[in-house]
Structure 1
Amino acid sequence: MPERTVAVQGIEELCHAFRARVPDGPAPDAPGLPVIVALGPRGSGKTTLLRRLGRQAANRPHAFYNFRSAPPRRPHEVAGRLAYGLSQRIRHQPALLFPRLTLGLFVVDPELSLDATDRGRARRQLRQALQGPAAQPRAAADHLTGLAEALKDLNLATIPGIGLLASLIRQPPRLPAALTRRTGFAWYADERRPALEALIELNQDAKDEAGHAAVDKLLCRAFLADLRDEYARRERDRNCLVLLDNIDAVGGREFLELLVETRSADDRPDPLLILATASDARDVRSRPAEEASPADWESGIPRLRHHSRWRWYHVRIPDLVAPETGRLAAQMPVSPPEAPPLIHDLTLGHRWSVRQLLDTAAALPGPDGETVSRLRGMLTEPSRLDRTILDHLLAGLADEQRETLVTCSAARELQTALDAGVVDPDSYDALRDGFGTGMWLTAPAPQDATARGGRVPDPPDSRALQPPASRPVLHPWLRLLLLQELARGPRNRWDEVHDALRSWFRRSHHDEHRIDELYHALALGELDEVVAHLARRLGQLPDTDAWLPELYAITAAPLRRPVEPDRSASLRTDALAQELAPESFGAHRALTVLVAALWLASDPRNRLPAARPELNATIGAMLRDLALHSHPARVDLRHEAEKYADRSPTRPYR
């Protein structure tokens, strides 16, 4: 079973707190219940969270519906499926009945045909249909087919013992005729028309596309009215719970927005708590899961409720933190001690990916002495593990959208690829609409010693460097996988895309974007140009604090081939320095090796073992050499070198 983190526990407690707030009568001023939306990218544990909450709510009315796995359905059809799930018979619990919704669903059934040209005949047809044996039940085969479809929609079809469960579930519209007539008819009637006339109009609206919105709205009202009546009729100790997965799939938000609108039109609170999940944040304001609470939601409710946005409560599911990754590794039969810190640094705690990499690390063959090289090569050919993970994270994305995202990954900021013209605007818009990039976008992380395996003293250094980017960037884990895809042949577009980005920065405000231009120059392997710039700036800039941000920002550039499993990072540093920058290696040896080492250290796989990152000794030595032999004012580079000194033991992961 996936780990129960502090954040997941917070969402569970939030859900339990709202479920316990059962309305005990009319309360016009009460805010009612929110629609809680748990936000996270694919693989963040959203479905697991819902299933866990479903198990915890098993002894009270609840329903689970996945908009991605179910076929597209209109809102009133989704309401019918949820009523179906909520009406399960549960021991020691009175079953929920839905007479209003049941009657409405029966009337809008496509098989019920009423004469639209003769009102009198239509009334006779409707009376006959309602008074027929068991309201004209379907043939046995049709009934079982409908039952199977409903069970599948509610994700119940694979549960052991489903045959017994099916026999305990009420299937709308089969309710006692007396209850349907007494409650349902009374609800559909109004001052201007009797119930039969209203139901005939409902039947006609269902057959006319122009009337579909009215049908959906009315039956969603019936769904909520039934729930309110059931809780008023019999005392209950918990609100009913509806769990909706993937509301950003077709029909999801449409259903929820209509339900929220319907709820807002009635002053009375209803007993329906909805917890939904989404991978697309849609630029909404959200709260970290660990800070979510009923009090926090209520604090955001406006005094004048002119709109219904306050009824939504968006909560972010965070990635695992390092100790949680370590605890997960400790549960596995075999896990190399170097695996948890490396996997956390690579994935930044993305839940599904952490599990995949931990499983892979546990199965790596070879003697213990080769642990580091085996872990370093975990995401390289021929295993193709990175492609397997990428396929999962990008599931549902069209080939063209995926290709656009691969191209965008070359840019430090996602939108730069569009600004520079390396992707087509229409393709970029299609990617943004279809991918829900909001949950895979993050604030840029500072590029400093801590990003390359160094350790800033505690309390944090006051001279911490600012992020080189200002707009959102791709999640580093997803970007690493996309960049490896960009570099693969025969469609290797690495040089083409990075050269186009470098040329764009060169054309637009050359001095202002010089660092970005050199970032892509380094990605192309042009180490001599980078070292020449940094050597010149070392003498020009007034102090070291102005030089270090340029050094770290440029050396954050991606590598076409990030790791060589059978070659240590230290040996590769010297080889890169001599091969890619022969001139600089002779004239500025310390700076050339420093740039090459920091460039390699931008990938966590080159920073093994975690307790004593391999490249730290080289980086520290080159910084000290520069402090002694470069510009006299740069003697404080020794302070930066100290950040790469050995400080065992490493930070705990278990």
Structure 2
Amino acid sequence: MVQAPPPGLGEIDALVHECWSRPPRTPDRVLPLIALLGRPGSGKTFALDHFEAVTRGAPAARVDFAAADEQRPYEVAVHLAFLLARKHTGIKPLRFPRLLLGLLAVQPELSLTDREQATRELRKALRQARSRGAAVDAGEGISSIVDSLGLSPIPGTDLIIGVLLRGFEYMPTRTFLNQTYHWYGSLGPPTAMDELVELNLRSRSAAEEHREAVDRRLCEAFLADLRAAYAHARRDHNCLVLLDNIDHSHGTRFLDLLVRLRAEHAVSQPGVYDPLLIVATSATTRAVPGPADGRPGDPYIQVADRASYADWRPRTDAPPADWWYPVRLRDLYEVEVSLEAGRHPVHATRLARATPLVHRLTYGHPWSVQQVHTAIGGLLAAGVSDRDLYGLLDTPVPGDGGDPVRRPPLGTVVRDYLLDGLTIDQRAAAVPVAAARTPAAAVNSGLLNELSEHARDTVMLELRNQLWLFTAIPEDANTRGGRGPSGYLVASGAPEERPVLHPWLRLLLLEELAGRPAPAGGPAAWQQAHQTLCAWHERLSRPLDALYHRLALNELDTVVTHFARGFGAADAVPWLRELYHVTAAPMHRAQLTDAQPSHNAGQLAREHAPAAYADPVTGRPLAELAAALWLAGDPRNRLPPGRPELNYKISAMFRQLALAADADTDTLLDEAARFTD
């Protein structure tokens, strides 16, 4: 039975299977080094779990560089050979004679001063290697335990040699040595024995160039063994190696060397390729070479839904220009969020109804979807209704016993997890960045000037490398819970906006900004950030962006006054575009109450725009419309999830304004219809 990939990983699954399979009567193909890039919680480990499960019974290996001790490149190659050499039913086991011979050669303590003595000592050590029955037995026993537990240990040398020797259990030592012995000595030393002795001496040297030479030669042996194993046996699949967390230094060093060796071999022996498919994961772009920096639309990083072998390999008549294939994992689509609700069978139906809230809140971030589903399930079990989820982020995370009051709230737990990898001062700097519509505005306005130099200089680079920059979303009815397409108000030929923070991370950071207490004698962090940004935009003559931050400061009256002057123009579309732009301003968490959002819209209009509210013809509906659209910017105000109650308020206010408009009434009525069920 074919195992379906986890939600959001269907395209990656198709790419890996396309590269993993070896069609009959097809020449060896050059294979990419697929690097799955994703922010924390994007499903990287789930992807490797899936591939490990579906390839069970075939040559496959998995190593987590975050869990493994620091390893040299040749030690990584030996570890992979150890895992790939395991026996599988119906498949001829892989043998690694060249690697084993080189590994045997670097083990003995040979004479450092007498070359002839060193040669005699190495010959004796190689003759004894075949008689290591104890090591073979140890390899058989321990590897069976490893297989049953699904572990990937860093084995000791004796165990490695024992397991690798299993492949030659019924072969005389002389035959085994003669088959691979000639491979050494082909690069310059007079004989194979001379090179093996030289390899031994270099392995015991502290000089970096000697260590690199040993790493290089043994990794070459690993790849040569793989090519030889596939050259003389029909196999349906290539070898699959799964490498987690390659942004750790030893993972990067190994892969850099592997790619260099592949490129050199493609030049020296055109058309002959190793059958090794590597699928690696990284939480940052620093693990992959080249110009990738994590910006949305980065041409060097392919998005998951367009990734394919043909995309990576456009030219089949030449070695690839770059063996790496960085692919950016995507967030879940709304239908996939709904499918994820099925993981909670007790509340599956009610969680599925909450999909619009969960998806728009998290924007489909996979790990966060699971956490929010669990939190909502806990609230539903406690008797909370579907429409009473305003305090979702303040809900204590589920735990085993203990005092729920002492458990951290969901928002704090998720925020800390998403910012994993940032230093304390970088995390502190990320909070005011969230106040700006674009991170660039936060930097250019001087909002970070009072922070430490390290935080100020590195926070944006770190957020970009961790793929937290997001393509700006067109602000329109669709983003406030309305129906119809998204982006229909974008001006024709308008320049693309600068990247923004991922909306889910930004919301969590804004929650923290709103909760920061005011210092003695100074404004609260929320007020200070938005005042600084407002003043900066005003200096640059950007009235709409200044109004955006004035609204964040509760200056609804100023916003209504501005839009009252432009109301009734012959073309209402530019007016609508500006209205949505300004009312996308962040809202202080204090405005998120248990009262019905439609009631809150009227209350906000009365409290913060009293002069406009006194005019029942255009002022009051405009003030309530602006307040309602502002509230609808937070998905928690769009409850119940399937039929947002706030939509009726927005629709009614658009209709009232349409009755008072002197021109383009139909555009306002069309907009009202977008919020009508």
What's the offset of the Cα at 1:517?
1.7
1:175-324 pair list within 5 angstroms: 177-178=173-174, 181-190=177-186, 191-206=188-203, 207=205, 208-266=207-265, 267=270, 268-281=272-285, 282-283=292-293, 285-298=300-313, 300-301=314-315, 305=319, 308-309=321-322, 311-324=323-336
Q: What one-letter code is carried by the residue in structure 1 that aligns with 2:9?
A: V
Q: Taking structure 1 as reference, are residues 139 and 265 closer, same or farther at Cα in structure 2, changes over 3 Å only?
A: closer
- Given that 1:88 and 1:169 are in contact with CA atoms closer than 8 Å, whether structure 2 keeps it comes out as no
Partner AA of 1:212 in structure 2: R
Higher mean displacement: 606-615 or 209-218 = 209-218
Task: Provide the rounded CA distance (Å) in 1 between the counterparts of 2:46 and 2:675.
Answer: 42
Residue in 2 that maps onto 1:612: 643
Say if 2:92 is the partner of 1:60: no
- Please tell me whether residue 341 in structure 1 is matched to residue 356 in structure 2: yes
Q: Which residue of 2 is the match for residue 431 of structure 1?
A: 459
Note if contact 1:447-1:549 (Cα within 8 Å) is conserved in structure 2: yes
Deviation, 1:132, is: 4.2
Question: Structure 2 vs 1, CA of residues 156 and 528 (structure 1 numbering), >3 Å: closer, same or farther?
Answer: farther
CA 1:57/1:622 → structure 2, altered by over 3 Å: closer, same or farther? same
Contact 1:129–1:135 at 8 Å: present in 2 too? no
In 2: Cα distance, 1:395 partner to 1:2 partner: 31
Is 1:376 aligned with 2:390?
Answer: yes
The secondary structure found in structure 2 opposite 1:370 is coil
- Identity, % of aligned positions: 39
Q: Would the aligned equivalents of 2:62 and 2:152 in 1 still touch at CA under 8 Å?
A: no
Query: For residue 60 of structure 1, what is the amino acid of its counterpart?
Result: A
Residue number in structure 2 paired with 1:530: 559
Which residue matches 2:665? 635
Work out the CA distance in 2 between the residues paired with 1:538 and 1:527.
Answer: 16
- The 1:276/1:367 distance shift into structure 2, 3 A limit, reads closer
Distance in 1 between residues matched to 2:277 and 2:152, nearest whole Å: 27
Q: Using a 3 Å threshold, how does the CA distance of structure 1 residues 235 and 428 change in structure 2: closer, same or farther?
A: farther
Q: Is the contact made by 2:426 and 2:459 (CA closer than 8 Å) also made in structure 1?
A: yes
Distance 2:247 2:151 in 1: 29
- SS of match in other structure, 1:481: helix
Q: Does 1:593 align with 2:624?
A: yes
Q: Give the letter aligned to residue 633 of structure 2.
A: S
C-alpha contact (below 8 Å) 1:23/1:269 kept by paired residues: no
Task: Tell me which residue corresponds to 2:371.
Answer: 356
* 1:9 aligned partner: 10
**RMSD (Å) for aligned C-alpha atoms:** 3.7
Aligned-pair CA distance for 1:313: 3.0
Aligned to 1:650: none
Shift of 1:290: 3.9
User: Which residue number in structure 1 is paired with residue 417 of structure 2?
Assistant: 392
Structure 1 pair 433–369 and aligned structure 2 pair: CA distance change class (3 A): closer
Q: CA deviation at 1:215?
A: 2.5
Do 1:129 and 1:136's aligned partners in 2 also have CA atoms closer than 8 Å? Answer: no
Q: Is the 8 A contact 1:100 1:184 kept in 2?
A: yes
Amino acid of the residue matched to residue 185 of structure 2? A
Q: Quickly say closer, same or farther: Cα 1:73–1:542, change in 2 above 3 A.
A: farther
Verify the 8 A CA contact 1:88 1:168 in the aligned structure 2. no
Match of 1:48 among 42, 46, 49: 46
Name 1:35's counterpart in structure 2. Answer: 33
Distance 2:532 2:49 in 1: 47
How far apart are 1:22 and its partner, in Å?
6.4
Query: Is there any run of 5+ residues in structure 1 with no aligned partner, and where?
Result: 648-654
What are the Cα deviations for residues 537-587 of structure 1, in whole angstroms up to 9, with x where unaligned? 336x66311111111111111112176352221222222223333344335
8 Å CA contact retained: 2:3, 2:54? no
Q: Partners of 1:575 and 1:290 in 2: how far apart?
A: 45
Label 1:209 to 1:100 Cα distance change in 2 as closer, same or farther (>3 A).
Answer: same
Change (3 A) 1:47 1:634: same
Q: 1:69 to 1:515 in 2, by over 3 A?
A: farther
What corresponds to 2:288 in structure 1?
A: none
The letter for the 1-side match of 2:392 is: M
Displacement after TM superposition at 1:599 (Å): 0.7
Give the Cα–Cα distance (whole angstroms) in 2 for the partners of residues 419 and 120 of structure 1: 69
- For each residue in 1:243-292, what CA deviation from the matched residue of structure 2 results, as whole angstroms up to 9, or x when unmatched? 11222333333322321221122231111111222333434534443443
Q: Distance in 2 between matches of 1:407 and 1:461?
A: 28
SS at match of 2:386: helix
User: In structure 1, what residue type is equivalent to 2:182?
Assistant: A
Question: Cα gap change, 1:490/1:23 in structure 2, threshold over 3 Å: closer, same or farther?
Answer: farther
TM-score for the superposition, normalised by structure 1 = 0.85
- CA apart distance, 1:91: 1.9
Structure-2 residue corresponding to 1:651: none
| 2:505 alignment partner, SS class | helix
Contact 2:598 2:646 in 1 (8 A): yes
Deviation at 1:156, TM superposition (A): 6.5
The answer on whether the counterparts of 2:477 and 2:675 sit within 8 Å (CA) in structure 1 is no
CA distance in 1, matches of 2:392, 2:382: 15
* Deviation per residue, 1:152-172 (Å, 9 max, x gap): 9xx97953999xxxx998756
Matches within 5 A, 1:158-173: 158-159=149-150, 171=162
Corresponding residue for residue 652 of structure 1: none
Q: 1:214 to 1:101 in 2, by over 3 A?
A: same
Once the two structures are TM-superposed, the CA of residue 104 in structure 1 deviates from its matched residue by: 2.6
After superposition, what is the alpha-carbon deviation per residue over 1:35-89, rounded to whole angstroms, capped at 9, x for unaligned?
2233332222221121111111111110011222223322222111111110111
Q: CA deviation at 1:532?
A: 2.3
Distance 1:392 1:223 in 2: 38
CA, structure 1 residues 485+302, in 2 after alignment: closer, same or farther (shift >3 Å)?
farther
Alpha-carbon contact 2:544-2:582 (below 8 Å) kept? yes
**Cα gap change, 1:22/1:481 in structure 2, threshold over 3 Å: closer, same or farther?**
same
Task: Supply the AA of the counterpart residue of 2:393.
Answer: L
- Alignment partner, residue 416 of structure 1: 441
CA distance 1:264–1:446, change in 2 (3 Å): same
Q: Post-superposition shift, 1:609?
A: 1.7
Higher mean C-alpha deviation, range 289-298 or range 399-408:
289-298
2-side partners of 1:57 and 1:179: how far apart?
A: 33
- Deviation digits for residues 157-204 of structure 1 (CA, Å, limit 9, x no counterpart): 953999xxxx99875665655466324432121354222322233234
Correspondence for 1:503 among 535, 544, 552 = 535
Matches within 5 A, 1:76-225: 76-108=74-106, 112-132=108-128, 158-159=149-150, 171=162, 174=165, 177-178=173-174, 181-190=177-186, 191-206=188-203, 207=205, 208-225=207-224
The letter of the residue matching 1:376 is Y
Q: Is the Cα contact below 8 Å between 1:80 and 1:172 reproduced in 2?
A: no
The whole-number CA distance in structure 1 between the counterparts of 2:281 and 2:333 is: 21
Q: Structure 1 residues 366, 261: closer, same or farther in 2, change over 3 A?
A: closer
Encode CA deviations 1:294-350: one digit per residue, 9 max, x unaligned: 34433x237554x631x3333343222222222222452214254222111211222
Opposite residue 100 of structure 1, the aligned amino acid is R
Q: Report the Cα offset of residue 364 of structure 1.
A: 1.1
> d(CA) in 2 for partners of 1:138 and 1:430?
54
Q: For the residues of structure 1 that align with 2:175 and 2:498, how far apart are their CA atoms?
A: 59
Query: Do the aligned partners of 2:8 and 2:336 also contact (CA within 8 Å) in 1?
Result: no
Aligned residues: 622
Task: Say whether the 8 Å CA contact 1:68–1:245 is kept in structure 2.
Answer: yes
Which stretch has the larger CA shift, 439-448 or 495-504? 495-504
Q: How many Å separate the matches in 1 of 2:151 and 2:115?
A: 49
2:512 is the alignment partner of 1:516 = no
Of 576, 601, 607, the residue aligned with 1:579 is: 607
